[in-house]
Amino acid sequence: MKKSSIDTTSVLSRRKFLALGSIAAIGSAAVLSGCGAKPEDTASSATTATETTNAMKTATETKDCDIAIVGAGGAGMWAAVEAARAGKHVIVIEKGGSVAVANGSLAGGPFIVGSKLQQAAGIDFTVEEAFKHIMEYAHWATNAAAIKKAVELSGDTIDRFTDEFGVATGLRPDNYGAGHASVRANFQSDPKDSKTQAKGEDRMGPLQKWVEGKSGEFLFNTAGLHLIMEDGSCTGVQCEQGETVIDVKAKAVIVATGGFLGSPDMMVEKFGTFVNPLGNILSVGEGIEMVQAAGGQLSTQWGIAGNEFSGSNKDAEGVWGRTNAAFSIGIYGTLLVNNQGRRFSNEGRFANLPLALGGAISLIGGQYYAVVDQAFVDGLNSGVDAWTLCGSDAENWRTGSMTLKGKALEDVQVNIDAAIAAGWAFKANTPEELAEAIGAPGLVDTLAQYNEYCAAGKDDQFYKPACFLQPVTTGPLYAFQYEPSAWVTIGGIRTNDRLQAIDAEGLAINGLYVAGADNGTLMSAPYCDYEGYSLMCAYTGGRMAGMNAAEEIDA
In order of 209, 214, 266, 547, the CA distances from 87 in angstroms are: 16, 8, 38, 11
Of 485, 509, 531, which residue sits at a domain end?
485
Of 485, 512, 531, which residue sits at a domain end?
485
Hey, which residues does 142 pair with through a beta bridge?
A: none
In order of 198, 518, 524, 530, the CA distances from 137 in angstroms are: 31, 21, 8, 10
- Would you say residue 137 lies in a domain? no
Q: Are 24 and 282 in contact (CB under 8 A)?
A: yes
pLDDT of 16 higher than 90 = no
Q: Does one domain contain both 301 and 431?
A: no
- CA-nearest of 264, 260, 277, 323 to 37 is 277
State how far the Cα of 492 lies from the Cα of 49, in Å rounded to an integer: 14
Of 485, 510, 541, which residue sits at a domain end?
485
Q: What is the mean pLDDT of residues 490-508?
A: 97
Q: Does one domain contain both 469 and 366?
A: yes
Q: Are 6 and 273 in contact (CB under 8 A)?
A: yes
Peptide bond before residue 431 is cis, with ω within 30 degrees of 0: no
pLDDT tens digits, 219-244? 999 999 999 999 999 999 999 999 99
Q: What is the pLDDT of residue 194?
A: 86
- The mean predicted confidence, pLDDT, of the chain is 91
pLDDT of 7 higher than 90 = no
- CA-nearest of 415, 423, 329, 317 to 372 is 329
State how far the Cα of 434 lies from the Cα of 448, in Å rounded to an integer: 13
Q: Say which residue, 191 or 551, is predicted with more confidence.
A: 551
Q: Does one domain contain both 292 and 330?
A: no
pLDDT tens digits, 287-304? 999 999 999 999 999 999
- Would you say residue 127 lies in a domain? no
Q: Does one domain contain both 359 and 475?
A: yes
Q: What is the pLDDT of residue 54?
A: 59
Q: Does one domain contain both 328 and 418?
A: yes
Peptide bond before residue 191 is cis, with ω within 30 degrees of 0: no
Q: What is the mean pLDDT of residues 169-191?
A: 94
Query: Buried (b) or exposed (e) across 360-397, using 16+ Cβ within 10 A?
Result: bbbbebbbbbbbbbbebbebbbeeebbbbbbbebeebb
In order of 65, 97, 258, the CA distances from 100 in angstroms are: 24, 8, 14
Q: What is the pLDDT of residue 500?
A: 98
- Would you say residue 476 lies in a domain? yes
Q: Does one domain contain both 381 and 247?
A: no
pLDDT tens digits, 43-78? 333 344 444 445 899 999 999 999 999 999 999 999
pLDDT tens digits, 339-356? 999 999 999 999 999 989
- Would you say residue 131 lies in a domain? no
Would you mind telling me the total number of residues written for the chain in this entry? 555
Q: What is the pLDDT of residue 55?
A: 80
Look up the domain containing 64 and give its range: 1-102+201-305+501-555
pLDDT of 536 higher than 60 = yes
- Would you say residue 225 lies in a domain? yes
pLDDT of 6 higher than 80 = no
Q: Which CATH number does the domain housing residue 452 bear?
A: 3.90.700.10
Q: Does one domain contain both 69 and 213?
A: yes
Q: What is the mean pLDDT of residues 487-506?
A: 97
State how far the Cα of 49 lies from the Cα of 426, in Å rounded to an integer: 38
pTM: 0.90
Q: What is the pLDDT of residue 342?
A: 98
Q: Does one domain contain both 215 and 257?
A: yes
pLDDT of 205 higher than 60 = yes
pLDDT of 334 higher than 60 = yes
Q: Are 203 and 187 in contact (CB under 8 A)?
A: yes
In order of 288, 365, 474, the CA distances from 411 in angstroms are: 44, 28, 20
Query: Buried (b) or exposed (e) across 228-255, using 16+ Cβ within 10 A?
Result: bbeeeebbbbbbbbeeebbbbbbbbbbb
- Would you say residue 153 lies in a domain? no
Q: Which CATH number does the domain housing residue 54 bear?
A: 3.50.50.60
- Would you say residue 221 lies in a domain? yes
Q: What is the mean pLDDT of residues 281-286?
A: 96
Q: Helix 533-554 crosses helix 74-85 at what angle (to 10 degrees)? A: 30
Q: Are 285 and 263 in contact (CB under 8 A)?
A: yes
Q: Does one domain contain both 369 and 253?
A: no
State how far the Cα of 271 lies from the Cα of 191, in Å rounded to an integer: 38
Count: domains in the chain: 2
Q: Does one domain contain both 420 and 547?
A: no
Q: What is the mean pLDDT of residues 524-534?
A: 96
State how far the Cα of 208 lies from the Cα of 73, in Å rounded to an integer: 11
Q: Say which residue, 215 or 21, is predicted with more confidence.
A: 215
State how far the Cα of 234 lies from the Cα of 237, in Å rounded to an integer: 8
- Would you say residue 229 lies in a domain? yes
Q: Does one domain contain both 412 and 538?
A: no
Q: What is the pLDDT of residue 44?
A: 31
Q: Does one domain contain both 359 and 464?
A: yes
